[in-house]
Chain A
Amino acid sequence: MDIALSADDVAFREEVQNFFDTQFTPEMEANLRAKGATGMIEWQKILHEKGWVAPNWPVEHGGTGWSATQKYIFETERSLRGIPDVVPFGLVMVANVIMAFGTDEQKEYFLPRILKSEDWWCQGYSEPGSGSDLASLKTKAERDGDDYIINGAKIWTTYAQYADWIFCLVRTDNSGKKQEGITFILVDMKSEGIKVNPIIGIDNEHNLNEVEFNNVRVPAKNVVGEVGKGWTVAKALLAHERTGIAGVADIKRNMRMIKEAAAKETNGGQRLIDDAGFQQRMADIEVELMALEFTELRTLATMAAGGFPGPESSLLKIKGTELQQATQELRMEMAAYYQGVLPTDMDPEVLGHSFGSDARRAFMYGRAATIYGGSNEVQKNIIAKYVLGLE
Chain B
Amino acid sequence: MNFDYTEEQQMVRDSIARFVQDDYDWDTRRAIVDGDDGMSRDNWNTFAELGWLSIPFSEADGGFGGNIVDLSVVMEEMGKGLVVEPFFPTVVLFGGLVSRAGDEAQRGAVLENLISGQTLGAFAYVERQSRFEISDCKTTATASDGGFTLNGEKVVVFNGEHASQLVVLARTSGEQFDRDGLSLFLVDANAAGVSKVAYPMMDAQRVANITFDNVQLSADALLGTEGGAMDVVDQVVREALIALAAEAVGIMGTLNAKTLEYTKTREQFGTAIGSFQALQHRMVDTMMAYEQAKSLLFKALCEYKIEPESADTTIHALKVLIDRNSKLIYGEAIQLHGGMGITDELDIGHYAKRLMMINATFGDGTFHRSEFIDQAYAA
Which residues of chain A have C-beta atoms less than 8 A from B277's C-beta?
381, 384
Interface string of A285-299 (1 = CB under 8 A from B): 011101111110110
Instruction: Tell me if A99 counts as interface (CB < 8 A to partner B).
Output: no
Interface string of B89-128 (1 = CB under 8 A from A): 0000000000000000000000000000000000000000
Q: Which of B291, B302, B314 contacts A2 (CB 8 A)?
A: B302
Which residues of chain B have C-beta atoms less than 8 A from A292's C-beta?
292, 295
Which residues of chain B have C-beta atoms less than 8 A from A259's C-beta?
377
Shortest A353–chain B CB gap in Å is 23
Interface string of B268-285 (1 = CB under 8 A from A): 000010110100110110
Given contacts A1-B2, A288-B292, A290-B299, contact A273 B281 (CB under 8 A): no
Instruction: Tell me if A315 counts as interface (CB < 8 A to partner B).
Output: yes
In the bound complex, how far is the Cα of B306 from the Cα of A295, in angstroms?
20
In the bound complex, how far is the Cα of B305 from the Cα of A4, in angstroms?
9
Instruction: Tell me if A279 counts as interface (CB < 8 A to partner B).
Output: yes
Q: Which of B1, B260, B294 contacts A297 (CB 8 A)?
A: B1
Q: Which of A1, A72, A286 contacts B5 (CB 8 A)?
A: A1
In the bound complex, how far is the Cα of B305 from the Cα of A114, in angstroms?
43
Which residues of chain B have C-beta atoms less than 8 A from A68's C-beta?
1
Which residues of chain B have C-beta atoms less than 8 A from A286's C-beta?
317, 372, 376
In the bound complex, how far is the Cα of B263 from the Cα of A294, in angstroms?
30
In the bound complex, how far is the Cα of B379 from the Cα of A274, in angstroms?
8
Interface string of A265-279 (1 = CB under 8 A from B): 000000001100001
Shortest B322–chain A CB gap in Å is 10
Shortest B1–chain A CB gap in Å is 4
B306 touches A315 (CB 8 A): no
In the bound complex, how far is the Cα of B302 from the Cα of A283, in angstroms?
21
Given contacts A283-B320, A388-B260, contact A291 B299 (CB under 8 A): yes
Q: Which of A274, A288, A298 contacts B3 (CB 8 A)?
A: A298
Given contacts A283-B376, A390-B275, contact A383 B1 (CB under 8 A): no
Q: Which of A284, A293, A319 contacts B288 (CB 8 A)?
A: A319
Query: Nearest residue in B to A3 (C-beta to C-beta)?
Result: B302
B317 touches A390 (CB 8 A): no
Shortest A304–chain B CB gap in Å is 8
In the bound complex, how far is the Cα of B294 from the Cα of A319, in angstroms?
15
Is chain B's binding surface mostly helix, strand, loop or mixed? helix
In the bound complex, how far is the Cα of B286 from the Cα of A390, in angstroms?
14
Given contacts A69-B1, A295-B292, contact A311 B317 (CB under 8 A): no
Query: Nearest residue in A to B304 (C-beta to C-beta)?
Result: A1
A380 touches B295 (CB 8 A): no
Instruction: Tell me if B4 counts as interface (CB < 8 A to partner A).
Output: yes
Instruction: Tell me if A362 counts as interface (CB < 8 A to partner B).
Output: no
Q: Which of B275, B284, B296, B317 contacts A391 (CB 8 A)?
A: B275
Q: Which of B4, B272, B321 contacts A287 (CB 8 A)?
A: B321
Which residues of chain B have C-beta atoms less than 8 A from A390's C-beta?
260, 263-264, 274-275, 280, 283
Q: Which of B69, B275, B287 contacts A315 (CB 8 A)?
A: B287
Query: Nearest residue in A to B321 (C-beta to C-beta)?
Result: A287
Instruction: Tell me if B298 counts as interface (CB < 8 A to partner A).
Output: yes
Instruction: Tell me if A377 counts as interface (CB < 8 A to partner B).
Output: yes
Which residues of chain B have C-beta atoms less than 8 A from A298's C-beta?
3, 295, 298
Instruction: Tell me if B373 counts as interface (CB < 8 A to partner A).
Output: yes
Which residues of chain A have C-beta atoms less than 8 A from B280's C-beta?
380-381, 384, 388, 390
Instruction: Tell me if B30 counts as interface (CB < 8 A to partner A).
Output: no
Query: Nearest residue in A to B323 (C-beta to C-beta)?
Result: A287
Instruction: Tell me if B150 counts as interface (CB < 8 A to partner A).
Output: no
B284 touches A383 (CB 8 A): yes
Shortest A284–chain B CB gap in Å is 8
Query: Nearest residue in A to B276 (C-beta to C-beta)?
Result: A390
Which residues of chain A have C-beta atoms less than 8 A from B372's C-beta?
283, 286-287
In the bound complex, how far is the Cα of B256 from the Cα of A387, in angstroms?
13
Instruction: Tell me if A282 counts as interface (CB < 8 A to partner B).
Output: yes
Which residues of chain B have C-beta atoms less than 8 A from A46's C-beta?
none
Instruction: Tell me if B327 counts as interface (CB < 8 A to partner A).
Output: no
Shortest B176–chain A CB gap in Å is 25
Interface string of A1-22 (1 = CB under 8 A from B): 1111000000000000000000
B377 touches A293 (CB 8 A): no
Contact residues of B between 364 and 379, Cβ < 8 Å to A:
369, 372-373, 376-377, 379
Q: Which of A2, A293, A387, A388 contacts B2 (CB 8 A)?
A: A2
A282 touches B291 (CB 8 A): no
Q: Which of B296, B301, B320, B321 contacts A1 (CB 8 A)?
A: B301
Could you name 13 residue pairs across A and B whose Cβ atoms are closer than 8 Å? A4-B305, A69-B1, A273-B379, A282-B373, A284-B369, A287-B296, A294-B296, A295-B291, A298-B295, A315-B292, A383-B287, A388-B284, A390-B264
Chain B residues close to A by CB (< 8 Å)? 1-5, 69, 260, 263-264, 272, 274-275, 277, 280-281, 283-284, 287-288, 291-296, 298-299, 301-303, 305-306, 314, 317, 320-321, 324, 369, 372-373, 376-377, 379
Excluding A1-B302, A282-B377, 17 further A-B contacts by CB distance (< 8 Å) are A1-B69, A1-B301, A2-B1, A2-B2, A3-B299, A274-B379, A286-B376, A287-B369, A288-B292, A288-B321, A290-B314, A290-B317, A292-B295, A300-B1, A383-B287, A387-B287, A390-B260
